[in-house]
């Protein structure tokens, strides 16, 4: 299981700063989470202003 960022992402970058393992990077039009690195902590979901990161 890993978190995934939906197309609601407004590209603010807050989640990338909040991620403790550096799993989030800039993708094409939205930020993306590397499922191999994500430890399911939920920090990105807590920081996101639009609720884009969701648990798969």
Instruction: Report yes or no: 44 and 6 within 8 Å, Cβ to Cβ.
Output: no
Nearest-approach distance from CB 34 to ligand SF4, in angstroms: 8
35 is an interface residue for ligand SF4 by CB under 6 A = no
Q: Looking only at residues 5 through 34 of this chain, which bind ligand SF4 when binding is defined by CB under 6 A?
A: 5, 9-15, 18-19, 21, 23-24, 30-31, 33
Give the C-alpha separation, 47 to 28, whole Å.
Answer: 21
Task: Name the strand (E) or helix (H) holding 21.
Answer: none
Instruction: For the CB of residue 35, give the shortest distance to ligand SF4 in the complex, in Å.
Output: 9
């Amino acid at each position: 299981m890993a978190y995934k960022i939906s197309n609601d992402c407004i590209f603010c970058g807050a989640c990338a700063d909040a991620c403790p393992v550096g799993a989030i990077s800039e993708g094409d039009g939205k930020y993306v989470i590397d499922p191999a690195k994500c430890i399911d902590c939920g920090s990105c979901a807590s920081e996101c202003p639009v609720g884009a990161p969701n648990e798969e």
